[in-house]
């Protein structure tokens, strides 16, 4: 499994997003947290910012939709040029339709699960997704403490993915640092979101290299 690092711009300076993207040329993805004050108690950004960011960087955008009605909005993020669009299982009323729509628009389709949401009920959707995102904090805010309780689920999800041919990426998001990333990688994750560990560092580019090295050990 190749390690991929997706720095979250939630921890970046929102008034300087183009510069903040340029500060991480070694990132595989740019993780864009979309929050709507409904699914989570925080508000960040939406389609206009994604459209602008798309033009301001070559790094593909990994849009994580923490919104109440992803079935309505997810396709528009794919149309706006996102390389990957992830919807929450807790919020989607029609995940099969929405995931298929995301794929039909040329983006990778992701399904996200909160820390307390079991993965087993969603095994039937593995043929519809390109990535499974397991939240390792409660969604809504950056800078929270990594939840160790999610690690057995990462392990179980990795086993399920292998049973389905191994092509689904397994992303973890929340509290990922040079220390916690090792445990996530060991449990089977291969795509790592990091907000404060990258943009809170004096040298974001070096922080990504350090995360990548730690995940590979
Ligand atoms: C939280 C977001 C995360 C957040 C991670 O709801 O989904 O992507 O930016 O931030 P850190 O890495 O600081 O925990
Ligand atoms: Zn996120």
> What CATH fold (topology level) applies to the domain 4-216?
TIM Barrel (3.20.20)
Q: How far is the CA of 86 from the centre of ligand 1 (A)?
A: 14
pTM: 0.98
Confidence class of residue 217 from pLDDT cuts 50, 70 and 90? confident
**Stretch (H or E) spanning 190:** none
Block residue for tokens 């820390």: 115
98 vs 30: CA distance, rounded Å: 22
Average pLDDT over residues 93-119: 98
Separation of 24 CA from ligand 1 center, angstroms? Answer: 17
CA angle (130, 133, 135) in 5-degree steps: 175
Told to judge if 71 belongs to the known catalytic residues of this protein, a careful annotator would answer: no
Q: What is the pLDDT of residues 125-154, one digit of tens each?
A: 999 999 999 999 999 999 999 999 999 999
> DSSP string spanning 24-93?
-TT-S-EEEEEEBSSSSS-B---HHHHHHHHHH-SSPEEEEEE-S-HHHHHHHHHHTT-SEEEEETTT-S
């Amino acid at each position: 499994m190749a390690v991929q690092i997706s720095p979250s711009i939630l921890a970046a300076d929102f008034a300087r997003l183009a510069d903040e993207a340029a500060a991480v040329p070694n990132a595989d993805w740019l993780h864009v947290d979309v929050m709507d004050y409904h699914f989570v108690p925080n508000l960040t950004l939406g389609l206009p910012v994604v459209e602008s960011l798309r033009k301001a960087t070559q790094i593909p955008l990994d849009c994580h939709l923490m919104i109440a009605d992803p079935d309505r909005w997810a396709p528009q993020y794919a149309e706006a040029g996102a390389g990957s669009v992830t919807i929450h299982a807790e919020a989607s009323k029609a995940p099969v339709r929405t995931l298929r729509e995301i794929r039909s628009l040329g983006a990778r389709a992701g399904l996200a699960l909160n820390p307390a949401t079991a993965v087993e009920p969603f095994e039937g959707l593995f043929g519809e997704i390109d990535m499974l995102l397991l939240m390792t904090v409660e969604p809504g805010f950056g800078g929270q403490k990594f939840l160790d309780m999610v690690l057995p689920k990462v392990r179980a999800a990795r086993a399920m993915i292998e049973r389905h041919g191994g092509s689904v990426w397994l992303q973890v998001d929340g509290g990922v640092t040079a220390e916690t990333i090792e445990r996530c990688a060991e449990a089977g994750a291969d795509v790592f979101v990091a907000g404060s560990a990258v943009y809170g560092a004096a040298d974001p580019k070096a922080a990504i290299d350090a995360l990548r090295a730690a995940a590979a050990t």
